[in-house]
Amino acid sequence: MKKIGILGSTGSIGTQALDIIKMNQGRFRVTALTCGKRVDLLESQILKFHPDIVCVEQEADALRLRRQFPKTEVLWGKEGLKQTAAQADSEMILNALVGMRGLEPTLKAIDAGRDVALANKETLVAGGAIVMRAVEERGVRLIPVDSEHSAIFQALQGNEGQKIRRILLTASGGPFRGYTLDRLERVTVEQALRHPNWSMGSKITIDSATMMNKGLEVIEARWLFDVEPDIINVVVQRESIIHSMVEFADGSIMAQLGMPDMRVPISYAFAYPDRLVNHFEGVDFFQLGQLHFESVDLQVFRCLGMAYEALKLGGSYPVVLNAANEVLVQQFLEGKISFIAIQNTIEKVLEQHMPRYDMDLDDILEIDSEIRERLSVWEQR
């Protein structure tokens, strides 16, 4: 039985991961579960999966859980999350946390010699260099869960070391595909939360609407596959059937296709290099009829262009891009700023940034909190 710890078990990815584990009885054992505020859901997960260790955000919740589950080790807060990643007796940690809070637990899991199944893309955007260095030093596997990166990872199987001409990173285009800047000015939170193809947590759903999600994924691909930004091309594939493609030096293109269902890449990460048997819906090509391809209008969806720019400039720019985006997406969700203010403000913050290079973890965390503090007091946007 493969022992897996799940960070962020109450979220969209976390709950789908537990579905996979439930469907494959006897194959996996859950060692750890963690959540932020959804302690009620965590309680039912503890009853079903009997983890050795759990972690919640608040101390009060942890103390209550300790009384309720005396056989389970219960931790809380940021330190608890790091400890859970390192301490749980796991072969693999699935990081399904949202945001920068995933960085330190990822590093702890790697340091402890665990393989990491990574959904938490913000980790690689902010800390790509140090995470990949740690992976190399500890000789563990970092397996992508993000559907595009899982597709690329799958296309690369058996082609290791071959020259890659292009990575074709596919995008659905989100709910505002084809919009002009003018129309984007007037969109609401409710509209932005209505993704055409995927049902996901609110942060990534807004990122998909601004196309920052694709920008974060370009940076994620750069680190996971050690490729230059210039060969990563974003292709809008409206139906989200082709999850991404790799073009090799000989002109061959390998693609991975399937219905938009995150349980497939999660299964692949859990069982790699094996494949699990499942009964999820397959693609009906006759019903589908056609697949559509288009480019992204970078004048409208400026987040994507800014992400490329931040990646090329390097150093602390991607940390700033990510931190500003996290704060602004939250402010948009709370109704404090407009949709378009997300990209306008990130642009200003990047312009004003004095970059730093060769950062260690402390530098990254310091820059991240500087940006968060600054944006929390900025008012007029």
Q: What is the DSSP string of 205-263?
A: HHHHHHTHHHHHHHHHHHHHHT--GGGEEEEEETTS-EEEEEEETTS-EEEEE--S-TH
Q: Give yes or no for residue 120 binding ligand NAD (CB under 6 A).
A: yes
The C-alpha atoms of residue 224 and residue 127 are separated, in whole angstroms, by 12
201 binds, among ligand NAD, Mg ion, none (CB under 5 to 8 A by kind): ligand NAD
Does 115 help bind Mg ion (rule: CB under 5 A)? no
Whole-number Å distance between alpha carbons of 185 and 380: 16
- The total of other beta-carbon atoms located within 10 Å of residue 48's CB is 13
**Closest residue to bound ligand NAD by CB:** 11
- Is residue 197 within 8 A of residue 239, CB to CB? The reply is yes
Report 147-186 residues binding Mg ion (CB under 5 A): 147-148
Judge residue 204's burial from the number of C-beta atoms within 10 Å of its C-beta, 0-12 exposed, 13-18 middle, 19 or more buried.
buried
259 burial via Cβ count (<10 Å: 0-12, 13-18, 19+) = middle
Complex with ligand NAD: residue 101 or 353, whichever CB lies closer: 101
Among 52, 61, 146, 368, binds Mg ion (CB under 5 A): 146
- Residue span binding ligand NAD (CB under 6 A) among the ranges 153-161, 198-206, 232-240, 269-277: 198-206
Closer residue to ligand NAD (CB): 43 or 165: 43
Among 4, 130, 167, 200, binds ligand NAD (CB under 6 A): 200
Asked whether the beta carbons of 370 and 362 are under 8 A apart, the reply is no
The identity of residue 373, as a single letter, is E
DSSP SS3 for 313: helix
Non-local CB neighbours of 44 within 8 Å, separated by 6+ positions: none
122 lies in the binding site for ligand NAD (CB under 6 A): yes
* Under rule CB under 6 A, residue 127 binds ligand NAD: no
Instruction: By CB under 6 A, tell whether 175 contacts ligand NAD.
Output: no
Query: How many angstroms separate the CA atoms of 104 and 108, rounded?
Result: 6
**Of these partners, ligand NAD, Mg ion, none, which one is at the site of residue 10 (CB under 5 to 8 Å by kind)?**
ligand NAD
Least distance from ligand NAD to the Cβ atom of residue 308, Å: 18
Shortest Å distance, C-beta 84 to ligand NAD:
10
Of 5, 11, 173, 318, the one binding ligand NAD (CB under 6 A) is 11
Binding site for ligand NAD (CB under 6 A): 8-14, 35-36, 38, 57, 81, 96-98, 101, 119-122, 146, 198, 200-201, 203-204, 262
